[in-house]
Chain A
Amino acid sequence: MNIVVLVKQVPDSGSERKMDPADNTVARAAADNVVNEIDEYAIEEALVVKEAQGGEVTVLTVGPDSATDAIRKALSMGADKAVHISDEAIKGSDAVQISAVLAAALGQLEYDLIICGAEATDSQMSVMPALLAERLGLPQLSGARKLTVDGGVAKIERQTDGGYWAVEAPLPAIVSTWDTINEPRYPSFKGIMAAKKKPVETKSLADIGVDASTVGLANATTQVVDFAGRPPKGEGVKVTDEGDGAQKFVDFLAGQKIV
């Protein structure tokens, strides 16, 4: 069972995130960058499947040189090797373009299963599994809170409002996971040391056969025209409950014509 896990490095959602006014893209260089949180659940799930069925877990990421930190984290959790697509021309690409880059890179790998997180905290689009399924002609098993792989078939519980859908597909397939699927392990000291010796292959666009003139900000399918900080909320009213807090709250709602 060979598994490719897609990992994205993102600005820490707990820090102040910014847009770069020079080109209206996410300011990544100066940001406090971390592994996208939900991707850790995808890595964990890949390791769980591998531990049960054997095979190899390969980490695949697209990003600048600094994305090696995200790769090391995945390797220290237990992934076996990594492929890092890094090319200056990719900067500013949108989801459609990144899916083309990932699809080309995946075309050079052997896999039975692709696993990724259901959503990145920076773009919050939740579309990469659908884009890749479309490009690669693979079954899409997205939004999983549970995954079982048995006899060449993957089954998931796709999380829905108030329940789930049971969805199944023959392998190879692409699965995306929510943070309800497992509890990711912490890298052990041994894992961190071992990660330093694991192979990381860095590839350029030319290496994966993608024409540089199809990616990057200038060739994107969408464009950010402008951005602005959300106007700060005016100072709200704050009362301390001295037996009349509930009444004041209800009076406020009445003033807003809500009750």
Chain B
Amino acid sequence: MAEVLVLAELNPAGGGVRKTTLEALTAARALGEPSAVVIAAPGTAAGIKDALAEYGAATVYVAEAAEVDEFLVAPKAEVLAQLVQEKSPAAVVIPSSPEGKEIAARLAIKIGSGFLTDVTEIAADGTATQVAFAGSVIVHSKVTAGTPIYTLRGNSVTPEPAAAAGAEQAVSVSVSDAAKGAKVTDRVVEQKSSRPELTEAAIVVSGGRGVASAENFSVIEGLADSLGAAVGASRAAVDSGFYPHSFQVGQTGKTVSPQLYVAVGISGAIQHRAGMQTSKTIVAINKDPEAPIFELADFGVIGDLNTVVPQATELITARK
């Protein structure tokens, strides 16, 4: 069976691989037998090898060196390109984070391939599905040059275990000077949150301009916590200073595709729809019955969020 290389993405907060890696391993099985690639600081692979094997990695290539983490993107692309040249895989699948897409881009140039970003599905013949124009168009695409490279959008494939050997194979790492141009001097966490990460969460509760103040976002957070959800915000809410930019869902923010998306006090401008339109189930709570968000909603409540949301939070908490 053809080998498919899957780049493992680590949880930035520490503690294992991101769910997107398991999704990528699952999606890669359509094309062949997945092998995981760990390109990270020394001592990383030991803690994640079992999870990679559980989700189908026949081989786990371990390329550990301090310098792959000290410089932005380029060293990882270089190591991955070396491995592609050595193993001639049928394809490469990478989780679709900002870094993942940039690694894919550099890899494409290095190995003379085409690449497709933010795919939501990969078929056995290599055809990938993508969502274009704020979720309004579904596109099927193919890579027509070289070894196909895909980046898989988070939450679009359900990770399924498929135990495999996970045989560890060390890869020697030599990073060229050219790849050491952009040095990462610090990694700063400004918002520590016990909530799930926005792009990975099964449920997202977002607030918009209707929330009316930064303080009142506690109403949104309350509902989110009762559901075990991530909190998001519309651009209008972020621009008004109600919530930090890193939680912005939309065209110029994050794209999310959870099982449930609850839009509270969000009118549903194209800017916002672009980031959440592919969510499985959408609920809207808004006092304006004409708000365009209702066109997308599977369930809508026309009402004052300050009444409806705290009540719903109480009811959900009471059910537990």
- Measuring CB to CB, which residues of chain A are less than 8 angstroms from any residue of chain B? 13-14, 17, 19, 37-38, 94-96, 99, 119, 121-122, 124-127, 129-131, 133-135, 137-143, 145, 158-170, 173, 178-180, 220-230, 233, 236-241, 245-250, 252-254, 256, 258-259
Contacts of B102 in A (CB 8 A): 126-127, 129-130, 140, 142
Cβ–Cβ contact B260 & A161, under 8 A: no
Whether B294 sits at the interface, judged by CB under 8 Å, is yes
Q: Give residues 237-284 of B contacting A (CB, 8 Å).
A: 245-246, 251-252, 255, 259-260, 270-271, 274, 277, 281-283
Name the distance in Å between A118's Cβ and chain B's nearest Cβ. 8
Knowing A221-B145, A221-B146 are in contact, say whether A253-B106 is a contact too (CB < 8 A).
no
Minimal beta-carbon separation of A93 from chain B (angstroms): 12
Known: A225-B127, A230-B135. A166 touches B144 (CB 8 A): no
Q: Report chain B residues within 8 Å CB of A121.
A: 251
Do A227 and B12 have beta carbons less than 8 Å apart? no
Q: Which residues of B contact A (CB under 8 A)?
A: 12, 72-74, 77, 98, 101-106, 108-110, 113-118, 127, 131-146, 178, 181-193, 197-199, 203, 227, 245-246, 251-252, 255, 259-260, 270-271, 274, 277, 281-283, 285, 289, 294-304, 307-309, 311-312, 314-316, 319
* Interchain residue pairs A-B with the least CB separation, the first 4: A241-B303, A221-B114, A139-B181, A246-B311
Residues of A close to B289: CB separation below 8 A? 238, 240
Q: Are B73 and A229 in contact (CB under 8 A)?
A: no
A162 to chain B, nearest CB (A): 4
Q: List 27 A-B contacts (CB under 8 A).
A: A17-B134, A17-B137, A96-B108, A96-B109, A125-B101, A127-B101, A127-B102, A130-B101, A130-B103, A161-B12, A161-B198, A161-B246, A162-B189, A166-B185, A166-B186, A168-B182, A221-B108, A224-B140, A228-B137, A237-B298, A237-B299, A238-B294, A240-B302, A245-B311, A246-B309, A246-B311, A246-B315
Q: Are B297 and A236 within 8 A (Cβ)? A: yes
B residues in contact with A139, CB < 8 Å: 181-182
C-alpha spacing A232/B198, complex, angstroms: 25
Set of chain A residues within 8 Å of B199, measured between Cβ atoms: 161
Given contacts A131-B109, A249-B283, contact A221 B143 (CB under 8 A): yes
Of the candidates B118, B185, B193, B296, which one forms a contact with A233 in the assembled complex, judged by CB atoms under 8 Å apart?
A: B296
Determine the chain B residues whose CB is within 8 A of the CB of A179 once the complex forms.
252
Hey, which chain B residues are within 8 Å of A220, CB to CB? 114, 144-145
| Nearest CB of B to A197, in Å | 33
In the bound assembly, the distance between CA atoms of A19 and B137 in angstroms comes to: 8
Question: Which residues of A are found within 8 Å of B246, using beta-carbon distances?
Answer: 159-163
Residues of A near B182 (CB, < 8 A) are 139-141, 167-169, 173
Q: Which residues does chain A contribute within 8 Å of B299, judged by CB atoms? A: 236-239, 249, 252
Contact B183 A168 (CB under 8 A): yes
Residues of chain B within 8 A (CB-CB) of A122 are: 133
Q: Are the C-beta atoms of A135 and B109 separated by less than 8 Å?
A: yes
Q: Shortest beta-carbon distance, A111 to chain B, in Å?
A: 15
| Closest chain A residue, CB of each to CB of B287 | A241
Tell whether, in the assembled complex, residue A222 and residue B143 are in contact, meaning their CB atoms are under 8 Å apart.
Answer: yes
CA distance A96 to B285 in the complex (A): 43
Chain B residues near A160: list those with CB within 8 A: 12, 187, 246
- Give every chain B residue within 8 A of A168 (Cβ-Cβ): 182-183, 185
Contacts of B73 in A (CB 8 A): 130, 140, 142
**Chain B residue with the shortest CB-CB distance to A94:** B114
Do the beta carbons of B72 and A167 come within 8 Å of each other?
A: yes
The docked-state distance in angstroms from the alpha carbon of A202 to that of B104 is: 32
Contact (Cβ within 8 A) B283 A162: no
Q: Are B12 and A238 in contact (CB-based, < 8 A)?
A: no
15 more A-B contacts (CB under 8 A) besides A122-B133, A239-B301?
A96-B108, A124-B117, A127-B101, A129-B102, A142-B73, A143-B98, A160-B246, A161-B12, A161-B246, A164-B188, A166-B185, A221-B114, A225-B141, A237-B298, A238-B302
